[in-house]
Amino acid sequence: MEIHIKKDRPSPADQYPNRARMLISCPDGPGIVAAVSQFLYQHGANIVQSDQYTMDPDGGMFFIRVEFDLEDLTSKLPQLEESFRSIADQFRMEWKIYHAARKKRLAIFVSKEDHCLVELLWQWQAGDLDADIALVVSNHPDMREYVESFGIPYHHIPVTPETKQEAEKRQLETIGDDIDVIILARYMQIISPTFIEHYRNRIINIHHSFLPAFVGGKPYAQAYNRGVKIIGATAHYVTEELDGGPIIEQDVQRVSHRDDVNELKRIGRTIERVVLARAVKWHVEDRILVHNNKTVVFN
Amino acid sequence: MEIHIKKDRPSPADQYPNRARMLISCPDGPGIVAAVSQFLYQHGANIVQSDQYTMDPDGGMFFIRVEFDLEDLTSKLPQLEESFRSIADQFRMEWKIYHAARKKRLAIFVSKEDHCLVELLWQWQAGDLDADIALVVSNHPDMREYVESFGIPYHHIPVTPETKQEAEKRQLETIGDDIDVIILARYMQIISPTFIEHYRNRIINIHHSFLPAFVGGKPYAQAYNRGVKIIGATAHYVTEELDGGPIIEQDVQRVSHRDDVNELKRIGRTIERVVLARAVKWHVEDRILVHNNKTVVFN
Amino acid sequence: MEIHIKKDRPSPADQYPNRARMLISCPDGPGIVAAVSQFLYQHGANIVQSDQYTMDPDGGMFFIRVEFDLEDLTSKLPQLEESFRSIADQFRMEWKIYHAARKKRLAIFVSKEDHCLVELLWQWQAGDLDADIALVVSNHPDMREYVESFGIPYHHIPVTPETKQEAEKRQLETIGDDIDVIILARYMQIISPTFIEHYRNRIINIHHSFLPAFVGGKPYAQAYNRGVKIIGATAHYVTEELDGGPIIEQDVQRVSHRDDVNELKRIGRTIERVVLARAVKWHVEDRILVHNNKTVVFN
Amino acid sequence: MEIHIKKDRPSPADQYPNRARMLISCPDGPGIVAAVSQFLYQHGANIVQSDQYTMDPDGGMFFIRVEFDLEDLTSKLPQLEESFRSIADQFRMEWKIYHAARKKRLAIFVSKEDHCLVELLWQWQAGDLDADIALVVSNHPDMREYVESFGIPYHHIPVTPETKQEAEKRQLETIGDDIDVIILARYMQIISPTFIEHYRNRIINIHHSFLPAFVGGKPYAQAYNRGVKIIGATAHYVTEELDGGPIIEQDVQRVSHRDDVNELKRIGRTIERVVLARAVKWHVEDRILVHNNKTVVFN
């Protein structure tokens, strides 16, 4: 039964049907901004926001994000991309243009802890997360009813050490071909390199510690034992190195000796929710570029 | 006696002798970024950072800050400015190009509380404030020796209700013509409209509350009486309206019922120092644009 | 249909069935702590936590909160309270002993914005809010299905300027006699002095600004217009003075010129949720004492 | 030349000449608070603040800090301590009573980075650090003039790998017998176990990272390479394990991809200053108890 009615707050995607976002990484050099902005101007686009960053002025990498409006974007986009190719080649660019009105499609993976899932569903339903939640995948059956009450399909795919490979295969089939990003909302299984390869820089995990402190299991118990005065959470892209991928966002909260492990977990749940939701928001708004093992976040 | 030896950390101004910063405000419209970046490219400049912001895509104001390197900047800058005029006219720009290597000259005004002055002097001496502190003006004699130990001139200009007008005249004469910005580092006299007019958007004040809460005198006592759980400080440009000018920066710290007024003041001193120092840093790095009563801070 | 299954995390109330919390306010003087702790010791109680605060050592007010365990608390509590009376009289104490295992009963009032309600329901369902949510009252019908899916009764009581007095009467009847605290979770009606009198220091409101800044309506629009760099929210007890009651908790988040009013609202929703939930938690854990227009929060 | 005149703000030590602070750790059990408060009451003491904490109600450790006023404290303290012994024995207490008016004597150790030293001297001179700075010890001569301008002795004791043992011996002689606490204000030499043993839980170090992340050298370079979004600093007591001692205080600040290593260091300097100053303040106010490798901070 669908009892959660999505708010009809105006979505950016709806408000600006002709908005595009362009992400570019390339070796730094003179003339890049001029070439890009001249190109957009000549094609009738109006730049509404632009951010750039040079990792090191002398021979480093250059990153740029441009938001622009272009009338009839849908029909003109293919031609625009075609025309841009020569500029891209000239500056050896990695680049991508996203149509903002085409909402990103999310798959959320979850295990038994539900707070991150609940937050994402709530933000989505409140109109604060401008994306489509296509499906939820879980290795447990517990949250089916809750997820389905939002009108979102729930796929229970059990995972055991023996069936892990098979389970991942089923997960990939279930997800299909049109998912843009996978959110591990406290999904407690390690993802295999093969799976990661399919979704390079498109799997976002929330780790319940201020990485790189307390890598691995039971980070709140580790934090309690070390007597830290601040705890945190970290959203990062998943790579082959456990808890070692590019950090997207972190946040913290002050704690004291009075807070036992259960209280740290309780406080941590709110930090985790907020940090993961921010990382997802920035990803779906095409604000993140990854270079080596670091992110450039234009927020 | 000069006992404070300035650290020889590399200053940005020294590191990048050919760096310029361009600040532009104008009505939004198509082609601005293209025109500016094309212009810079044609003149041989290399953009190393650029930020822009549109207040409202449909007919609002457009703000842009560009940092670029241009060989032989000193000799080429006059010609560059001359050439830019036609673009500026076309888009009705307010604009300015600053030579980063030409350090801003500061005048610091102070009364009896010294913590903000001490912070600025320390950051300057540590090489963290990339500016010249040209002189300190005070309505009290107390800090002469301390200021002079940094090799900085100290001018004691007493102010009484009767002599105020005369005192401001002396202040203006003392400052002379080549001061870029005046810092009110807990200077407890109200500045007259005439004086403000001389330094429009170039007088930075630190107010010891989280404005607009607790405008006026004794803000920590006001905060204590209201029982707030967080106190703050606000750095703003001085306008004719008391504590009403454009806000540059604010920060806060958590307090509790245990903190009496003296403790709030003590905590506040650290917030004030940090907030004022940040605002000054952004100003001397040409990161602030003012529009109506608000700031755009590209930091 | 009840689809939200409450987590069976161990609740403090369940874990410590014999736990009591004692709150005392009285004029300061020698011997208070000795008398209270001696009394508890003689009655077989074991103090597990104790906080105290003297507003001013010389003749001010003294506040103390004691958590203690006492075997067979339920049967012994009436006698304990009876015996304590003579000490209380001697020191002119206002005092109260709460049985921690008796969960506080909450009534939540809500209008159309649901984020604060959702947060409280979620924290309750997650076992993070150790209280009973007895009912939800709203002047709109919108959230019935959602609230009822938690198994919580929903009462739609419309309010118009004409029917306001009548509506409040119905609200009071609906609430009945055994509600401990009322939470205004973005309930957009002003509560009458008569109603407030029934629940003195037992109505918690969330105001969507960093009080005392931006009292009254549309605080995010006010904040945007003033160009503040930090926004906040305030949870406070409701008094006859609008937005003027004792502040329980505040928190803030940094914003920038890039954030328009809608974005400030979006950011604000998360601050509001977190701040209100903390205030409610502290109230139901008997951590708050009110004196004049200020709170002492032993957290 | 002494050019820094200490502010004559009223110091707590001066305001409350008869104030004492009692710190107790012992196994938890019934009757402790009653016994202590009854004892103090019978001896005519008036408790002005008291905090306690039980690490685990069932058989854990109990910590209590009591601030009290007792007329003629100086003459009565020896007798009071003598009398308390039987209670202390009964409950197997570790305990200590401090006379608040007897200011703690600090020795500050520093190498070449001066920001933490400057902060402590400034807070001391401003009357914000209620302690005596007895001397400064450095392995470099650089800051002699600056330190002496505060009227504080400066001891230059060079340290090389070969002379380290000898140098520590000289340090201990120089410090003498009446130093309460040693502050390592960015002192870049590892302290030997022998030295640590002399000042168990009385050496405070500031580490320029959010421990346990980035233990060891060059933490800002480590943080930059890992791409963290928040950096921090940690004040801790020094133990034989490098950067592994009990954490007293931590704080953090948000950074972004734009901040290079130099900028991280610059931002870090302010966090380090603030965190170390807080830790020192709490230590000299007898607010810290150490148990195993953790601190209980009653602040």
The reported pLDDT for the residue numbered C267 is 94
Confirm if B204 and B283 have CB atoms less than 8 A apart: yes
How far CA A54 is from CA of A28, B43, B97, in Å, comes to 7, 20, 21
Please report, rounded to a whole number, the percentage of residues in chain A having pLDDT higher than 70: 96
Q: How far apart are CA D299 and CA D277, in angstroms?
A: 14
Confidence of residue A15 (pLDDT cuts 50, 70, 90): confident
Q: What is the mean pLDDT of residues D10-16?
A: 77
Provide the pLDDT for residue C224. Answer: 92
Quick check: A34 and B30 CB within 8 A? no
Query: Which residues in A208-228 are b (16+ Cβ under 10 Å) and which e?
Result: bbbbbbbeeeebbebbbebbb
Q: How far is CA C274 from CA C117, C128, C131, C208, D177, in A?
A: 11, 12, 17, 12, 51
Alpha helices in chain D (DSSP H): 12-15, 32-42, 73-90, 115-125, 144-148, 164-175, 193-198, 219-226, 261-284
User: Which tokens go with A262?
Assistant: 């259960």
Residue numbers of C between 203 and 232 with CB closer than 8 Å to B: 210-214, 226-230, 232
pLDDT at residue B12 greater than cutoff 80: no
Which pLDDT tens digit goes with each residue over C193-221?
A: 999 999 999 999 999 999 999 998 899 99
Decide: B18 and B69 in contact? Cβ < 8 Å: yes
Q: How far is A73 from chain B (nearest CA, A)?
A: 16
Rounded to a whole number, what is the distance in Å from the CA of D244 to chain A's nearest CA? 9
User: For A79-107, what is the mean pLDDT?
Assistant: 97
CB proximity under 8 Å: B 50-109 to C: 53, 56
Note the pLDDT of residue B159: 96
Nearest CA in chain C to A113: C126
pLDDT at residue C34 is higher than 70: yes
Check whether D281 has a pLDDT greater than 90: yes
pLDDT at A102: 94
Average pLDDT over residues C270-283: 97
Residue A21's DSSP bridge partners are A67, A98
Closest Cβ–Cβ partner in B31, B46, B49 for A41: B31
Beta-strand relationship, C61-69 and C94-99: unpaired
- Domain D17-99 classification at class level: alpha beta
For residue C287, is pLDDT > 90?
yes
| Largest separation between any pair of C-alpha atoms in chain A | 63
Q: Hey, is the C-beta of C261 within 8 angstroms of any chain A C-beta? A: no
Among A53, A260, A294, select the one facing D227 at the smallest CB separation. Answer: A294
pLDDT above 60: residue A1: no
> What integer best gives the mean pLDDT of chain D?
93
Which range is most confident: A75-79, B14-18, B121-125, C59-63?
A75-79
- Return the pLDDT at C189: 95
Name the residue of chain B whose CA is nearest to D129's CA.
B266
Subunits with 3+ C-beta pairs closer than 8 A to B? A, C, D
Among the listed ranges A50-64, B241-255, D250-264, which one has the minimum average pLDDT value?
A50-64
**Residues of chain D found within 8 Å of residue C35, distances taken between Cβ atoms:** 41
* Interface contact C126-A149, CB threshold 8 A: no
D241 touches chain A (CB under 8 A): no
Mean pLDDT, rounded, for D235-264: 95
pLDDT top residue among C116 and B56: C116
| Nearest one of B118, B53, B101 to B299, comparing CA atoms | B53
Contacts of A236 in chain D (CB under 8 A): none
Closest approach of chain D CAs to the CA of A272, in angstroms? 15
d(CA B148, CA B2): 7
Whether the predicted pLDDT of C5 surpasses 70: no
pLDDT band at B15 (very low <50, low <70, confident <90, very high): confident
The ipTM assigned to this model is 0.92
> Where in chain D are the domains?
17-99, 105-297
Residues of chain D contacting C38 with CB distance shorter than 8 Å:
34, 37-38
Chains near C (3 or more Cβ pairs under 8 Å): A, B, D
Q: What is the pLDDT of residue A6?
A: 65
In B, which residues are within 8 Å of A69 by CB distance? 57
Per-residue pLDDT reduced to its tens digit, B60-109: 899 999 999 999 999 999 999 999 999 999 999 999 999 999 999 999 99
pLDDT of residue A5 exceeding 80, the answer is no
What confidence score (pLDDT) does residue D4 get? 63
- Architecture of the domain spanning D105-297: 3-Layer(aba) Sandwich (3.40)
The reported pLDDT for the residue numbered B299 is 86
Q: How far is D214 from chain B (nearest CA, A)?
A: 24
Name the pLDDT band for B2 (thresholds 50, 70, 90).
low
Nearest to C50 among D45, D50, D57 (CB): D50
Cα-Cα-Cα-Cα dihedral of B51, B56, B60, B66, to 10°? 0
Nearest CA in chain C to D58: C48
Is the model's pLDDT at C228 over the cut of 70? yes
For A228-250, what is each residue's pLDDT tens digit?
A: 999 999 999 999 999 999 999 99
Output the average pLDDT for chain B: 93
Banded model confidence at residue C59, pLDDT cuts 50, 70, 90: low
Q: How many CB pairs under 8 A join B and C?
A: 72
What are D133-190's pLDDT values in tens digits? 999 999 999 999 999 999 999 999 999 999 999 999 999 999 999 999 999 999 999 9
Whether the per-residue pLDDT at C2 is higher than 90: the answer is no
What is the structure's pLDDT at B5?
A: 60
If DSSP codes are grouped into helix, strand and coil, which group holds residue B22? strand
Q: How confident is the model at residue B49 (pLDDT cuts 50, 70, 90)?
A: confident
Instruction: List all chains that touch chain A, counting a touch as 3 or more CB pairs closer than 8 Å.
Output: B, C, D
Whether the pLDDT of residue B1 is over 80: the answer is: no
* C115 chain-A contacts, CB cut-off 8 A: 122, 126
Chain D positions in Cβ-Cβ contact with residue B144 (cut-off 8 Å): none
Residue C1 has pLDDT above 60, yes or no: no
pLDDT in tens, A258-273: 999 999 999 999 999 9
Band of pLDDT at residue D5, cut at 50, 70 and 90: low
> Nearest-CA residue of chain C relative to B289?
C257
Rounded to whole angstroms, the Cα distance separating D290 from D65 reads: 13
Task: Point out the residue among C145, C149, C266 whose CB comes nearest to the CB of A128.
Answer: C266
